[in-house]
Chain A
Amino acid sequence: MERFKVKLQLNGEAVELDVNPSETLLETLRDRLELTGAKDGCGLGACGSCTVLLNGLPTRSCIVLTAELDGSEVSTIESLADGTKPAPVQESFMEKGAVQCGFCTPGMILTAKGLLDRNSRPTKEEIIRSISSNLCRCTGYKKIVEAVEAASSTETPKT
């Protein structure tokens, strides 16, 4: 089977990949690039644990083929912190107790980040609508909503 060449901006760096056409973005990230922050929770796009930002939009990487992405920008949870300093949204997830087992956390944070990047002051309803894309089995979502609310007052609006 022929390979497929893909150029990506991955976490701010240009990468050139030679992938199998049937490879999903999640497989590329986890198996090829050792970026294991994105989790494989269901493999069918139902849970959101594999969420990454694709051209800024929260996207389930388990149902996207890497071959589709030539020229795209992909950001994973590993790129969110500024060096060792967590991003404000990561800080607020920690401070508000929005993290329990941590399996849904990377995807949840990137879904929240995607929202805050396009709407720096979302209402509670908008927050709930956005994070209803992702399953969490531990928290009951209350502290996640509170964390995103808190982050919305500290996150620098993107212009």
Chain B
Amino acid sequence: MDREYTIVGTRMTRTDSLAKVTGSASFTADLKLPRMLCAKVLRSPHPHAKILNIDTSRALRLPGVKAVVTAADAHGVKWGVFKYTQDHPMIAVDRVRYVGEDVAGVAAADEETALEALDLIQVDYEPLPAVFNPEDAMKKDAPLIHEEYANNINVHVHIEVGEVDEAFGQAHLVREDTFHAAGEAYSTLEPYATVASYANGYLDLWMPNAAPHVRAKALSNLLKMPLNKVRVRRINVGGHFGSRSEVSPGDLVTSLLSMKAGCPVKLVLTREENAACTRQVHDIQATIKTGVKKDGTITAKEFRVVYDGGAYSSTGPIAASIPYYVYEEAYRFPNVRYNGYRVITNKGIRGMYGAHGRAFLCGNEMQLDMIARELGMDPMEIRLKNGLKVGEETATKSVIISGGLEEPIRRAAEQANWTEKRAGLTEGEGIGMGCVAVMCGFPMGFRSGSACYVKLNDDGQATIVTGICDTGMGNESMAIQIASEVLGIPVEDISLVNADTVVTNLDPGAYSQAASFVGGNAVKRACEDAKRQILGFAATKMNHPAEDLDIRDRTIISKTDPSKSMPMRWIVREAFFQGKPIAATGAYMPKVDFQREWIKKPYGQMAGTFSFGCSVAEVTVDKETGQIRIPHFVAAHDCGNPINTMAVEGQIEGSVQQAGVAVLTEETRWTEGLLLNPDLLEYKVPLACDMPEIEPLIVCSNDPEGPFGAKEGGLTTRMNAYSAVVCAAHNALGVPLNEFPLTPDRVLKALDAAKGGDKS
């Protein structure tokens, strides 16, 4: 690095934390507008049924009810991320496909009246046969849930690289295993909510979202309104993890109610509604076949992965691909065949998870350990041998421009005393390693990039305007920190205006790990432009070459002669005088292959860069009870270069809970399309007392493209922490573990199965 940064890389107190510790930070449910009404949604009690008739007349007559909406009030536009997956009307038209599907909405003066009105809406249903698991749904005689999806197969992602069958034929060792993982709940602490306020032809909206621009566009389509009349505004978001990426049925219902009632309307989902009626995580079954040479080099991979997609497409092909991509971005696969099937069932809607693909990823990693054992190799060695390095390409032709798997592996192993620990394990103890790499952004057409405006105010302070969205990870603080570093003014001199579609410019959002790499880059470039303008004026005013000037602590200063200096605000005022106020723009478009398409052309540069990570977990297993404890966890994450060290650590540590400990406790449980644990009591989000000692390690590969070398801030841990724990449990038990999460009953079943002869 050329020089030490002033504020980048420090443990800065996040700029949003004061409002959050004092309780003044507003979330959507906290909003209160004049004349605001309360909304409630009537939901389908059936997993699959025809709607024969809806009669809302009695509800409309109830005093206090201001509006009732059904599909008849919507515009017949269906939601789906891609043209070929637009299948979700958001308010059921003539058929319901999951329990909890939105059928009608009511806006009333208060919650009690709204609930009473729901009881007065008469819906006549004709129940249809339903199907709840993807293997059944693909059978010939299964009920067809959407006419357009034969065998209920929503999407089929097929990737084929090299000569797979030939490579298997020549392999020294081939293993095939099948793994199944129950779906998870995102369990954001904030239940979903929407406030819609329609007036004078314009619709203002607040809701927990991860990309305001993408959300506004989706709603403008669904409402058939011009995009400039749909404004999604900035609000604090109580956690996201993938769950707030897409437009939600509640957004449409609330918007329609507000437009009909002519008043602001607030919908707040209950915890149960949040679990059953907003997107949750796919159940996944993965069959994984791997061929290796004698020295452990992977020569062939074949995958068949079935994703339980619930009733509608949502992110469809993305969800059916990402687990594979984050794996091929870590390891070298010369020959690979991937078949991912996302299958429609009569269960709640599904989306992408920060920790998406549990069965696939830990299945691969555990199988790699089994292979290593058969070859007499250390699991670390086989990972090092196959890990991608800078300059190499992934199987589907993405170039790695920084990082590589080796350093995270070496750092994590060293910190965890990998070799010594492995040698000294006693009965019931295990140590395991999980690796992955993650794309920072992916192709989203012209929405892949971000743009930022900066203006310098008359006292020398700055306003940054960016579409960057913060769902809790600290993106707002990150943008301010970058601006502070570039402009040479302290953080408190910077005002941020963000995530407001009328004001801010396009940004890809906070769900493809693009916020620092793409959005941060745009902020940096805009501030650099502003700085250039400032130094240009300063050069004239100070009669000193601009190249020798810099801004430090609100002062223009000569790099070679520090006695030459001038307060920056003088220069800013000078610019105003000359009628050329400092106003700058910066944009960043990642270098990706825009021809790449998830199904039609899954080849080409996926992302501008990739982050790499390795987690090492130590476990102890009680073989009599099946209970697993994780005393110690090391997570190494290559974030390029941390903008805020403390914030990156926080991402890593949170990921250990959401994946590393979750693999022992978390699963959604179902009874015929009804969630058995739509709450926070029986859905087991780990508590402080369940957590291991965590050592987060930040690996700095200093990305050549990223702002100050930064990539993304912690997702690799979210993607590999459960692999590490599963591999450690496998190491301790020596038997295959094929069913996840690793609850104690499943652990004992695996031990019993192995006793029954299925030794591996």
Contact = CB atoms under 8 A, between A and B. Distances in A.
Q: Are any A and B Cβ atoms less than 8 Å apart in their complex?
A: yes
A46 interface: yes
Q: Chain A's interface: helix, strand, loop or mixed, by majority?
A: loop
A80 B21 CA distance: 9
B122 interface: no
B265 interface: no
B687 interface: yes
Interface in B671-719: 679-681, 685, 687-689, 691, 694
A42 B275 CA distance: 11
B32 interface: yes
Given A94-B18, A97-B647, A137-B685, A102 B679 contact: no
Q: In the complex, which range does the number of interface residues on chain A fall in?
A: 35 or more
A104 B191 CA distance: 12
Interface stretch (A2-10, A65-73, A140-148): A140-148
Interface in B635-658: 646-647, 649-650, 652-658
A132 B686 CA distance: 9
A28 to B, nearest CB: 14
B16 A46 contact: no
B554 interface: no
Interface stretch (B411-419, B466-474, B608-616, B733-741): B466-474
Contacts of A137: 187-189, 239, 241, 654, 657-658, 685
Interface in B729-758: none
Nearest to A141: B688
Contact of A102 (B240, B472, B650): B472
Interface string A36-49: 11111111101101
Contact of A103 (B27, B271, B650, B685): B27
Interface string B12-33: 0110111111111111011010
B270 interface: yes
B669 to A, nearest CB: 16
A109 B29 contact: no
A40 B270 CA distance: 9
A119 B653 CA distance: 27
A139 B189 contact: no
Contact of B21 (A40, A76, A94, A136): A94
Contacts of B688: 128, 131-132, 136, 141, 144-145
A102 B646 contact: no
A123 interface: no
B160 interface: no
A148 to B, nearest CB: 10
Given A97-B11, A104-B189, A141 B657 contact: yes
B167 interface: no
Interface string A86-129: 10001001111101111111100100000000000000000011
Interface of B: 11, 13-14, 16-27, 29-30, 32, 187-191, 236-241, 268, 270-271, 471-474, 646-647, 649-650, 652-658, 679-681, 685, 687-689, 691, 694
User: Which 6 pairs of residues, A with B, have the shortest CB-CB distance?
Assistant: A37-B23, A101-B472, A103-B238, A102-B20, A140-B653, A77-B23
24 contacts: A39-B190, A41-B189, A41-B190, A42-B271, A44-B271, A47-B680, A77-B22, A78-B24, A96-B646, A97-B650, A99-B21, A101-B471, A103-B27, A128-B688, A132-B688, A132-B689, A135-B685, A137-B188, A137-B241, A139-B650, A139-B653, A140-B658, A140-B694, A142-B691
